Amino acid sequence: MEQNHPYNFEDPQIYNNLLEYCPICGKKDIKLKYIIRRYNPAFKIDICKDCGFIFMNPQFCDKIVKKLYKKEYYRNDTAYSYQDERDIEDYASYVWEKRIKVLRKYAANGNILDIGSAFGGLLKVASKYFTPYGIEFSEYSGSFAKEIFNENIHIGTLDDCNFEKDSFSVITMIETLEHLKEPVKTIKQCYKLLKDRGILVIQTANMQGLQAKILKDRYSYYMPGHFSYFTRDNLYSLLKKEGFRRVKIFHPVEFGLLPKLLKSRSDFKSLIDYRKWLRISIYHFISKIRYKGFSLTSSMVLYAFK
């Protein structure tokens, strides 16, 4: 299968060395799951047969990753892109406001760190109650946030920050964990940075969901910038292993349906577009149908309490 593929997965100009063990449990019982060919360059996805963790292997080298998050990424000018939150800020605020409202039930104030803070939209809302800090890998989006929050925004990674232990009441990673090459290391760092009773909020995909299982290699979450794919069970186990005393899991999200519906209006052009609300509502409610780690969709949010 690989012999007919145009890419040399050992090319050091594109890929790092092949991992021979699972980045989560350390076992060597890993095997090829998919080759994702719809992007250029292509990439391989492996799975650990022991813990079920799914990961890109080999990973793209840092030079390739750096190119992924330039201006074009936010302007929808590449195959791998993400919506510029500034274009829909009024609508996205419905989600941010409700998310912070729910969060404040568990932590009312203090310092908040958003890892993967992009243009700072979530931090704007959080700053009404918390002292905001952000980390953003993209110089393009991070520079914009830095104009708002000054030195409280770090352009780079958690590895090159100098935050002190027990600095934060809340750390959020909203659709960020999957972008990390070393997620275990990051979770360990987050645990140290949180105060006692602090909260780590993670939103990512549950690869145990029927959605991921049915779509297989066509599942849209398999993207060039995504290195780590968790299941509900192995992420829960990892958080507990790293010391978090309690983990609360929400399916699909903690902030409910209404904010999602209101946010979706950002691209509505006429009344007929409100038909999308039916699809969004169905997705939301079937997400609650689950048994243990399995669910009908792949959306989840976890609150991990130190």
Tokens of 93: 């605020």
**In this model, does residue 5 exceed pLDDT 60?**
no
Tens of pLDDT along 56-92?
Answer: 999 999 999 999 999 999 988 888 999 999 999 999 9
In the prediction, which pLDDT does 249 show? Answer: 96
Tens of pLDDT along 263-277?
Answer: 999 999 999 999 999
Tokens of 213: 């299982």
Tens of pLDDT along 214-265?
Answer: 999 999 999 999 999 999 999 999 999 999 999 999 999 999 999 999 999 9
What does the H/E/C string look like for 119-168?
CCHHHHHHCCCEEEEEEECCHHHHHHHHHHHHHHEEECCHHHCCCCCCCE
Tens of pLDDT along 166-224?
Answer: 999 999 999 999 999 999 999 999 999 999 999 999 999 999 999 999 999 999 999 99
Tens of pLDDT along 129-156?
Answer: 999 999 999 999 999 999 999 999 999 9
In the prediction, which pLDDT does 76 show? Answer: 84
In the prediction, which pLDDT does 1 show? Answer: 34
Return the half-sphere exposure (C-beta side, CA atoms, 13 A cut-off) of residue 264.
Answer: 16
For the entire predicted model, the pTM comes to 0.94
In the prediction, which pLDDT does 58 show? Answer: 97
Tokens of 279: 């699809």
Mean pLDDT is lowest, of 118-127, 265-274, 292-301, for: 292-301
Tens of pLDDT along 38-53?
Answer: 999 999 999 999 999 9
In Å, how far from its chain's centre is CA 112? Answer: 17
Q: Phi-psi region for residue 42, left (φ > 0), alpha (ψ -120 to 50) or beta?
A: beta
- CA 166/CA 190 separation, integer angstroms: 9
Crossing angle between the packed helical segments 232-241 and 183-193, to the nearest 10 degrees: 50
The 10 Å Cβ neighbour count of residue 268 is: 13
Tokens of 23: 């980045």
In the prediction, which pLDDT does 3 show? Answer: 40
In the prediction, which pLDDT does 20 show? Answer: 95
In the prediction, which pLDDT does 6 show? Answer: 60
In the prediction, which pLDDT does 166 show? Answer: 97
